[in-house]
Amino acid sequence: MEYIIIIISAVFVNNILLSQFLGVCPFLGVSKKVNTALGMSAAVTFVMALSTLVTFLLQYYVLVPLGIGFLQTVSFILVIAGLVQMVEIILKKISPALYQALGIFLPLITTNCCVLGVALLVVNNEFTFGGDPHMLNLGQSVVYAVASALGFGLAITLFAGIREQLDLNNVPKAFRGVPISLIVAGIMAMAFMGFSGIV
Amino acid sequence: MGKLKLIIDGIIKNNPTFVLILGMCPTLGTTTSAINGMGMGLATLFVLVLSNMTISAIAKLIPEQVRIPSYIVVIAAFVTIVQLLLQAYLPSLYETLGLFIPLIVVNCIVLGRAEAFANKNSVIDSACDGLGVGLGFTIALTILGFVRELLGSGSIFGWKFIDGDGILAFVLAPGAFIVLAYLIVLFRKVTAKKA
Amino acid sequence: MAKESSFKNMVITLSLICLICSALLGVVYSVTKAPIEAAELAKINNAIKAVVPECDNNPSEEMMEVEGCVVYPAKVNGNIVGYAIKVKASGFGGPIQMMVGFNADGTIYNTSVISHAETPGLGAKITGEIPTRTQIVGKNPASSNLTVTKDGGEIDAITASTITSRAFLKGVEAAYKVFVELQKQQQPWEN
């Protein structure tokens, strides 16, 4: 039951992008076509699940026992960079077509705030999913990561759909490009605020 | 290259927020007030200057293929130093900025400047570039925070001039996106006139 | 321009950089460890001071753990004048960390919100001097119904922030349970 609450919370109520502001750079840069957005979301979901799993284990089995918690930022980002590199190599081998389609976006996942952001959130913060504040365990953390990635994917896919329509419309010259995208994002954020209070 | 020109370029021509459109996450996430925006900007500036200088100094010693991971480790180290210093000496700012402090490490601006400038230029030039871009970022965040605080909380740098709340939407998520959009348009209009 | 990218060079360079950075961080960490702990302690002490009557001991040095919550006793001349109890409530946007202060007789002296993640302008008002917090001062949870009016109680919730108000009052209730447990432990012969 708690897993369902985690999923609804991460995808709708506290959408990683529209309410926690993580992952905005690729959001503005990538999403002009729905297909690219979907491909990007899939890649991000995979990397986020994997990196949350590894960093969670790293935190509780290495950093905390050895008392080197201050190396959290350095070690986490190294893990993420390494994982993305690995995903690139594997993808090149098993699906060159997908690798080509994702192009530059794959290495950019390393600097995507939501990957590092979620990894840090699950080991540093307490959550209140349907109960007293508590730290998440491994299973809940991975579910949270996957759900956050799905929320990210939902946001950028919706956004790409809107952008596709927007290009056909008459946007005032000064607003073309980033500003109108930001305004659309703002309105989407407002819409998603309607989900507050569900969980 | 003129040192002063480097700095000014960072603030206007290469302004990371209004021109390069980089580092959006902290821009939207920490500007609920002018002070918070300024604090975030200054923390990033600190990392930018130091990492630019360090990377400029050791660029020649790093093999091409491990370039990016090496830069990331250096940047992460400086970010951790900022984290620890803030936690020790400015704990309330540390709590307000929260998650976004460690996220400086994946702030595209820092790695971007390291890759685009620091590894090809001298240490002093890189420091100036870092200073300029960092100042551009800080000014942008402070302005954004100022507007959101003014409209959303009815206060200026913490000094409330109305009783009760302002238009709350501005300090919540939608406000961040929308105010930033209008500021970019304004910046474009102002700099276009100068050209 | 850069060194040649042989495997050996790459591994050595990256390892060296990691080692130097880790060492540097270790140094900065050891230097900032004390100020960080002092800042944490100052935060707790401020919260304690705000919620219990004047005391001449150092409550944070005499802290105890009861029912999973940390309790800070306030004493004058060795006699208990109050307890500050730290609780965590499940707020609307995340945990609410609060300090609840009781007089020795069980009435509430004051409360303090240490940290929260509530919505600005709505639940975030919980940190201010609002009815939800001021109305419970001086009341004894044993005899008064300290819940929001919506739930049949006597306390006014924050407008449009019932969830935050409920969470806060639940935190007060949890603190009171700890207080009762404390009383039992202090006077076992009376029970």
Chain C positions touching A133 (Cβ under 8 A) are: 88-90, 94-95
C-alpha atoms less than 13 angstroms from C-alpha of A173 in its C-beta half-sphere: 3
pLDDT at C27: 94
**C9-63 pLDDT, tens digit each:** 888 888 999 999 999 999 999 999 999 999 999 999 999 999 998 888 888 888 8
pLDDT reading at C124 higher than 90: no
Complex-level ipTM: 0.88
Chain B positions touching A156 (Cβ under 8 A) are: none
pLDDT at C143: 86
Residue B104 has what DSSP assignment?
A: G
CB B173 within 8 A of CB A193: yes
pLDDT at C189: 59
pLDDT reading at A93 higher than 80: yes
Range C63-92 average pLDDT? 89
Range B131-160 average pLDDT? 91
pLDDT reading at B171 higher than 90: no
- In angstroms, rounded to a whole number, what is the distance separating the alpha carbons of residues A72 and A66? 12
pLDDT at C2: 55
C-alpha atoms less than 13 angstroms from C-alpha of B139 in its C-beta half-sphere: 17
Bridge-partner residues for A127, per DSSP?
A: A134
- In angstroms, rounded to a whole number, what is the distance separating the alpha carbons of residues A65 and A59? 9
pLDDT at A107: 81
What is the three-class DSSP state of C135? Answer: coil
pLDDT reading at B195 higher than 60: no
Q: Hey, are the CB atoms on A132 and C88 less than 8 Å from each other?
A: yes
Q: Between β-strands B155-156 and C95-103, what pairing exists: parallel, antiparallel or unpaired? A: unpaired
Q: Hey, are the CB atoms on A20 and B175 less than 8 Å from each other?
A: no
Whether the CA torsion C87, C91, C94, C98 is positive or negative: it is negative
pLDDT reading at A184 higher than 80: yes
Shortest CA distance from A17: residue in chain B: B25
pLDDT band at B149 (very low <50, low <70, confident <90, very high): very high
pLDDT at C18: 92
What is the three-class DSSP state of C86? Answer: strand
pLDDT reading at A120 higher than 90: yes
Interface probe for B, chosen from C10, C119, C122 (most Cβ of B below 10 Å), is C10
The domain containing residue B131 runs over which residues? 3-194
Q: Hey, are the CB atoms on A73 and B173 less than 8 Å from each other?
A: no
**A13-58 pLDDT, tens digit each:** 889 999 888 988 888 776 677 877 888 888 899 999 999 999 999 9
pLDDT reading at C190 higher than 70: no
**C135-187 pLDDT, tens digit each:** 989 888 888 888 888 888 888 888 888 889 999 999 999 999 999 988 888 77
Shortest CA distance from C91: residue in chain A: A128
pLDDT reading at B185 higher than 70: yes
Shortest CA distance from C93: residue in chain A: A128
Return the number of CB contacts < 8 Å for B and C.
80
> Domain tally for chain B?
1
Shortest CA distance from A116: residue in chain B: B103
- What are the counts of helices (DSSP H) followed by strands (DSSP E) for chain B? 8, 2
C-alpha atoms less than 13 angstroms from C-alpha of A114 in its C-beta half-sphere: 36
pLDDT band at C127 (very low <50, low <70, confident <90, very high): confident
pLDDT at A199: 67
Q: Name the residue with higher pLDDT: A182 or A104.
A: A182
Q: Hey, are the CB atoms on A77 and B189 less than 8 Å from each other?
A: no
- SS3 per residue for B33-61: CHHHHHHHHHHHHHHHHHHHHHHHHHHHH
Chains adjacent to C (≥3 CB pairs closer than 8 angstroms): A, B
Kindly report the nearest CA distance between residue B82 and chain A, in angstroms.
11
pLDDT at A59: 94
Of residues B70, B91, B168, nearest to C13 (C-beta): B70
Range B87-104 average pLDDT? 91
pLDDT at C152: 86
Range B9-22 average pLDDT? 87
pLDDT band at A154 (very low <50, low <70, confident <90, very high): very high
Interface probe for C, chosen from B54, B65, B97, B172 (most Cβ of C below 10 Å), is B65
Range A120-124 average pLDDT? 91
DSSP labels, C40-82: HHHHHHHHHHHHS---SS-GGGG-EEETTEEEEEEEETTEEEE
pLDDT reading at B142 higher than 70: yes
Q: Hey, are the CB atoms on C92 and A197 less than 8 Å from each other?
A: yes
Interface probe for B, chosen from C6, C8, C28 (most Cβ of B below 10 Å), is C28
Instruction: Give the CA diameter of chain A.
Output: 59
pLDDT at C191: 45
Q: Which H or E element spans position B190?
A: helix B173-194
Chain A positions touching C95 (Cβ under 8 A) are: 126-128, 133
Rg of the Cα atoms in chain C: 23
pLDDT at B194: 65
Residue count (chain C): 191
- In angstroms, rounded to a whole number, what is the distance separating the alpha carbons of residues B173 and A79? 30
